Structure 1
Amino acid sequence: MDDGLVLNLASLDSASSPKVITVSKGGRWTDRLKAKRGVKRKVHNENAKTPKTTAVVEEHQPKRPRVEKSSGQSSTKEHQHTHPRPPTQIISSLFSYNPKIEAPVDPGPSKAPSAPSNAPLTDASSFSGLGLNPLIHAHLASKMDIQKPTSIQRAALPVILSTSPDKLARDIFIQSQTGSGKTLSFLLPIIQDLLPLSSLSYIDRSIGTLAIIIAPTRELAKQISDVLESLLKLRLRAMDEAADDANTSRLTRWLVSGLLIGGGTRTHEKARLRKGLPILVATPGRLLDHLQNTSTFNVSKCRWLVLDEADRLMELGFEETITGILKCLDGHRKLALQAVKEGIGREVGGWDWERRRRTILCSATIREDVQKLANSSLTQPIMIKAIEAELPFDSTSSTKTPHAVENFSPPTQLSQKYVITPLKLRLVVLVALLRTIITQCRGRPGSKAVVFVSCTDAVDFLWKMLGRSLMDDNDEESAEKKEDSDNDDSNNDDDSEEGNSMRNSKPDPISLKCSLLPDTSIFRLHGSLPTRTRLATLRGFSGSFKNILPFSVLLCTSVASRGLDLPLVQSVIQYDLPTEGGATEYVHRVGRTARAGKGGEAWSFVSPSEVSWVQWVEGKMRGDSSENEKKNISLTPVSPETVLKSGFGGKGSEYEERATQVQLSFERWVLQRKENAGLARKAFMSHMRAYATHPSDEKHIFHIRHLHLGHLAKAFALRETPKAATSASGNVSQKSGKKKMDGGVSKKREKDRVANIKDAKWEFNHNGDAERRMRDIVRAQGRQSKKAGVMLSSGTSEFQIAGGYALEKMVGSI
């Protein structure tokens, strides 16, 4: 196939074209049918006599211009007969017909990097000075290489570790910047509270669960569980104590942690719960399931309950689940107290039943839904921030609004940049940016980059296309062989029981290699992947394999935006801007880098119609900050030409030709197989649905009518816009008055419309939890009504009606 940039169609000569036979019109339809059959037989007989030639003739060809013969020149007809040229396909140029983009304003001399806002303290404070147990302090310093507390740890630990009755009677609300060490702020007090129980003779695992930590996602729950397991490996006796010291209390190693997340085997989890798990990390759904259905799950003596990332818990719709968990915990405790009073069962030792359960709620923001959760789960809460501690809620207000004004901003040492990228250039600019970052990280093995995408289908498409498209060799089988060998190597590095089971079941590959990104492994992560794959991806991307990867890229959705502490993340790229959460979600995403005082950079891809988003998000992050903080909260513009030149190199405009070759390699991969083309079209449609879910207060920036669908198709390596997208938007009238679906269409158009609607409905029902949440958001934002079998719209985006929840209603009415 000729992949050059062709601006006109090559016409075939009359010699290679089949003879056109006219069929007379008129008469009965049976006569016309016989004439058509005769024409087919005649053409078939003529083709059988002549040798077969490869020629494709379009239905309506343009007329061939007449060329006059000269004495020394052969005719066009003879020239084309001797040198047949196959028809070529029109491929639009990447660097033409793009919207004009103003050159970014020169920000002037680069400012000196600000002092880190989430780094460990440099003063004389230490964990021992905060009242922490010497055994825990020694373990942090020697085994975990944590010498000094962060600002939030210094503010939270004295309050939570206090044994005064006044403090024990109050719950805790922790608000802090992302990457500031909130996990240790609640894990260390829990271990210090339960550690003295090891000296009691009647304490063992059978006592049940004494502490429960709830996380919104499986990845965050697994990460908290890993940190907890490393803390529980501490020495139970000081090294300088004599072994025969009679006064030294001997501590038993009974503290065991457990993990309950969806996707696991419930039978195995029940067996562990029967043995006893003193400290439990779980996701809300699976925890409530075991509380309601596992009779051996003993939580009557629970002393700690932690709700981590409470704002994310509320965003994902876990409010009713959290309420059910609280009711189950209270019910189990009441039943146990009643049994003790009535003397039922055998109570060993003297358990302190007067000690109430203490709840810790951690959130980066204080929104209305988080305040509602605090009202229902916390008792006289103490507000703890990075510098200010013990800011109580306003007792005179029924909503318990905190005195402190919410100010949620990224770390000050983070470098934030954005690129105004035309839709056609999105793919090549992403590749060029990744190549630039890889070059900058040479000599630092284990460096990483995280790329956020709006939907799961787009993640799968980018992952497979980057890993399987080749620049030189277009044979996909060679790419698959390379992928299999890479996957075998990564699986062999994993000696765990989970890794063995994964090898036996032959799972999908965890990582792929890209020919455009040298020495780079590409991972993917989203909510529709199996739990085993998600955990193995996190383990591989974090570098827990025996061989540290030179550079790693993680393509993910917002499932990786909260709480995950991924080591050595150099850059965070927002390929798609957040559709939910606004500025808060943006800060959470960029918070995957520049953690614990380290540096990092954040990149955002902004289309020409979304330029006003930059000022909007800057204003949201600045809020009521001081003047010095406002100067640090700004996004620096970078032109796409600068990124392309840095990534592809070359002299002058040579980068344009190289970027075009990269784009053509992606398009060839899409055209190689029907599955690849289907994957690209599915990603395109999912991206449009996700784009339509932006909240109403952002519609002036993100609106589906602002997108050029043909240019957007190039960002998915498609050479034409999928028909489903054009029909979804074309069936809605663009008139300024009342808009309604076209009811007077022909039977064929109606059949095609029904097929497109059913395809879209099937995609909606098979795209996992993320797509269902998007449908719910569209349902809440749109206002649809139905009259005489026709969908009507008032004040709502056309795409939401044609591509959102209304599809189900339309299919149901057909």
Structure 2
Amino acid sequence: MAIPDQVVMRKIKKRQKNRKKLRAVKELDSESRHVPGTSFGVLSDTQFSSLRGKVSDATLKAIEGMGFKRMTEIQAKTIPHLLEGKDVVAAAKTGSGKTLAFLIPAVELLYKLKFMPRNGTGALVIAPTRELAMQTFGVLQELLSGQNQTLGLIMGGTNRQSEASKLAKGVNFLVATPGRLLDHLQNSSEFVYKNLQCLIIDEADRILDIGFEEEVKQILRILPKRRQTMLFSATLTKKTEDLVKVALKSEPLYIGLDENKEQATVEGLEQGYVVCPSDKRFLLLFTFLKKNRKKKVMVFFSSCLSVKYHHELLNYIDLPVMSIHGKQKQAKRTTTFFQFCNAESGILLCTDVAARGLDIPEVDWIVQYDPPDDPKEYIHRVGRTARGEGGRGHALLILRPEEVGFLRYLKVAKVPLQEFEFSWAKIANIQPQLEKLISKNYYLHMSAKEAYKAYVRAYDSHHLKSIFDVNTLDLIQVAKSFGFLVPPNVDLIPDVGSNKARPRKKGRAANYGYEGAPPKKREKSVIYKPIPVGTDNRKRQFSR
């Protein structure tokens, strides 16, 4: 289902109002604590007013209206070079202010060229996800509030015909996701992009990680070669370097802020971990969320099906939560994203689709219920809290005893973690009620079954197999965390290029455990329909 343009715009405008209120509070807070010669969080001592004479008064007025006075480190180091027209490859921590760092020079470039709608698209921003594209578009709207250039947003899940019509009329600033952009470049004949002056690739490593490498290469082949290019990324990997060679001039300017830092995550973030056996994981999560239900919490899972199941379960037992995952329709993801952004408190369950680049205000806790694929993903996940000037937040990583070795990788990546203490006597023992509910409620039973299978499959596909080895899983304990007494059977895809059969779990009871599946008979994950409200008379709240 396509999202009506007016719905997206209404949500973006509502979020902009909330952001302005938040910025005003933070500005007062940071000014009251500011000591000359120091900076809080990611702020530098460089004022935006120092750009007077280099950028237009309209842009400076817009920045002031957005509540910003001092630049962040990445802004102070990149904006002067970008205003000179240089190609830049910039690496910076999540939450360090990359968006304004590339938007301000792009706005000034088209302002000086007096770009008009008839000139077509002069500046193009490519973002990896729809949510990040909407967020960037919202910031661009604020920045262009006093100027006449046109702007547009194109992304999957919205009305393509409406987008093509707007492109035909001339969109000076365009924010896009890779797939939909390539579609319009190839099929929208009235899309004028021959005058492109500036290309911005945001979260480049994420674009490549989620499989858009070929689309981006095709886009680069189509776009004009004479342009300024900016590539921003949280990390610079081998794949990113390959993209740099294709997208930028022979000698771009590299700007990185993370290499000599003592830690790879932002200041103001209290990070810790807890070691928890598999069968107690859900009990710990339930108790933690109950205690922090008045705060703003994000919980990360390894699969869409696990997010869906826990969303259904927690809401069913009267612990209200929201969810975002890749199998939702875009309209639902958009609504939930803005609902959580605008809320003062709430719990959001999500997959890594929400972990990159998104600016969600005032998140108190990041809980990693399922560990990330590598330290890089950990950094991006916790980057949702303690953002911007003087930001504060907390992060909790839940590990099985067999996964403690992951801490070594985090230490190498300059991520400091301390062990959090939990009183296990205070953990709510709702296991009997959970098992009874899952056994009697058909829809929850089926959802839990698919979530359990997805968890085991995701674990089997983990990159760090020396730490996250599927053969170390106690499937009976894992199944208990999903409400099962007997683990459902899971078919795992055999290792490619390996002649060894996947080992069967010793002591398997009938019809559970895991085994290799014939390629054509692998069970397909199913998203089941939502649980009907009021379908039975059973009490919906666990007894305590």
Does the TM-score normalized on the shorter chain lie above 0.5? yes
CA distance in 2, matches of 1:286, 1:671: 44
Matched, 1:193 2:109: yes
- Find the counterpart in structure 2 of residue 364 from structure 1: 234
CA contact (8 A) 1:420 1:639 kept: no
Structure 2 counterpart of 1:668, from 436, 446, 456 = 436
Deviations 1:131-175 (A, max 9, x none): 33222112221x21111111111111111112xxxxx3x411111
Change beyond 3 A, Cα 1:762–1:599: same
Matched, 1:590 2:404: no
CA contact (8 A) 2:178 2:216 kept: yes
Change beyond 3 A, Cα 1:178–1:147: same
Structure 2 counterpart of 1:531, from 326, 330, 336 = 330
1:26-175 aligned at under 5 Å gives the runs 118-122=41-45, 126-128=49-51, 131-141=54-64, 143-162=65-84, 168=85, 170-175=86-91
CA distance in 1, matches of 2:416, 2:63: 36
Change beyond 3 A, Cα 1:419–1:741: closer
CA distance in 2, matches of 1:307, 1:604: 31
- Find the counterpart in structure 2 of residue 268 from structure 1: 162
Equivalent position SS for 2:321: strand
User: 1:228 is matched by which residue type in structure 2?
Assistant: L
Matched, 1:184 2:55: no
Equivalent position SS for 1:449: strand
CA contact (8 A) 1:155 1:385 kept: no
- Find the counterpart in structure 2 of residue 453 from structure 1: 301
1:166-565 aligned at under 5 Å gives the runs 168=85, 170-198=86-114, 204-234=116-146, 236=147, 253=148, 255-330=149-224, 356-379=226-249, 380-386=251-257, 409-438=264-293, 447-469=295-317, 515-516=318-319, 521-543=320-342, 549-565=343-359
Q: TM-score, normalised by structure 1?
A: 0.55
Deviations 1:95-133 (A, max 9, x none): xxxxxxxxxxxxxxxxxxxx9774323466745358332
Unaligned runs of 5+ in 2: 1-37, 505-509, 529-544
- Find the counterpart in structure 1 of residue 477 from structure 2: 711
Equivalent position SS for 1:761: coil
Q: CA deviation at 1:280?
A: 0.6
Deviations 1:574-614 (A, max 9, x none): 000112xx111110111111111301111000001111111
CA distance in 1, matches of 2:212, 2:422: 41
Matched, 1:721 2:487: yes
Deviations 1:490-519 (A, max 9, x none): xxxxxxxxxxxxxxxxxxxxxxxxx34xxx
CA distance in 1, matches of 2:248, 2:46: 33
Change beyond 3 A, Cα 1:131–1:553: same
CA distance in 1, matches of 2:500, 2:125: 52
Q: CA deviation at 1:753?
A: 9.1
Matched, 1:567 2:369: no
CA distance in 2, matches of 1:123, 1:463: 44
CA distance in 1, matches of 2:158, 2:311: 26
- Find the counterpart in structure 1 of residue 23 from structure 2: none
Equivalent position SS for 1:524: strand
- Find the counterpart in structure 2 of residue 699 from structure 1: 465
State the identity as a percent. 33
- Find the counterpart in structure 2 of residue 512 from structure 1: none
Matched, 1:761 2:543: no
Equivalent position SS for 2:360: coil
1:574-653 aligned at under 5 Å gives the runs 574-579=368-373, 582-597=374-389, 598-619=391-412, 621-622=413-414, 633-641=415-423, 644=424, 653=425
Deviations 1:347-369 (A, max 9, x none): xxxxxxxxx31110001111111
CA distance in 2, matches of 1:639, 1:705: 28
CA distance in 1, matches of 2:221, 2:344: 49
Q: CA deviation at 1:683?
A: 0.2
**Larger CA Rg, structure 1 vs 2:** 1
Q: What is the RMSD computed on CA atoms of the aligned residues?
A: 2.9
CA contact (8 A) 1:572 1:601 kept: yes
Change beyond 3 A, Cα 1:310–1:130: farther
Deviations 1:467-504 (A, max 9, x none): 012xxxxxxxxxxxxxxxxxxxxxxxxxxxxxxxxxxx
CA contact (8 A) 2:42 2:266 kept: no
User: 2:447 is matched by which residue type in structure 1?
Assistant: L
CA distance in 1, matches of 2:480, 2:233: 40
User: 1:385 is matched by which residue type in structure 2?
Assistant: G
Equivalent position SS for 1:131: coil
- Find the counterpart in structure 1 of residue 534 from structure 2: none
Q: TM-score, normalised by structure 2?
A: 0.82
Deviations 1:750-778 (A, max 9, x none): xx999998774322xx679xxxxxxxxxx
- Find the counterpart in structure 2 of residue 792 from structure 1: none
Q: CA deviation at 1:261?
A: 0.8
User: 1:711 is matched by which residue type in structure 2?
Assistant: Q
CA contact (8 A) 2:124 2:198 kept: yes
Deviations 1:191-228 (A, max 9, x none): 11112344xxxx53222111110011111111111111
Structure 2 counterpart of 1:683, from 438, 451, 468 = 451
CA contact (8 A) 1:365 1:406 kept: no
CA distance in 1, matches of 2:517, 2:51: 68
Change beyond 3 A, Cα 1:278–1:577: same
CA contact (8 A) 1:454 1:578 kept: yes
Deviations 1:615-650 (A, max 9, x none): 22112x22xxxxxxxxxx421112342xx5xxxxxx
Unaligned runs of 5+ in 1: 1-114, 163-167, 237-252, 334-355, 388-403, 470-514, 544-548, 623-632, 645-652, 743-747, 769-814
Equivalent position SS for 2:230: strand
Q: CA deviation at 1:541?
A: 0.7
Change beyond 3 A, Cα 1:383–1:740: closer
Give the number of equivalent residue pairs.
478
Q: CA deviation at 1:559?
A: 0.7
Equivalent position SS for 1:694: coil
User: 1:561 is matched by which residue type in structure 2?
Assistant: A
Higher RCO (C-alpha under 8 Å, 6+ residues apart): 2
Q: CA deviation at 1:317?
A: 2.0
CA distance in 2, matches of 1:759, 1:453: 26
Equivalent position SS for 1:300: coil
CA distance in 2, matches of 1:457, 1:321: 27
Q: CA deviation at 1:229?
A: 1.2
Deviations 1:48-101 (A, max 9, x none): xxxxxxxxxxxxxxxxxxxxxxxxxxxxxxxxxxxxxxxxxxxxxxxxxxxxxx
Change beyond 3 A, Cα 1:612–1:753: closer
CA contact (8 A) 1:128 1:134 kept: no
Change beyond 3 A, Cα 1:185–1:427: same
CA distance in 2, matches of 1:602, 1:638: 10
User: 1:602 is matched by which residue type in structure 2?
Assistant: A
CA distance in 2, matches of 1:741, 1:184: 52
CA contact (8 A) 1:127 1:149 kept: no
Equivalent position SS for 1:299: coil
CA contact (8 A) 2:124 2:175 kept: yes
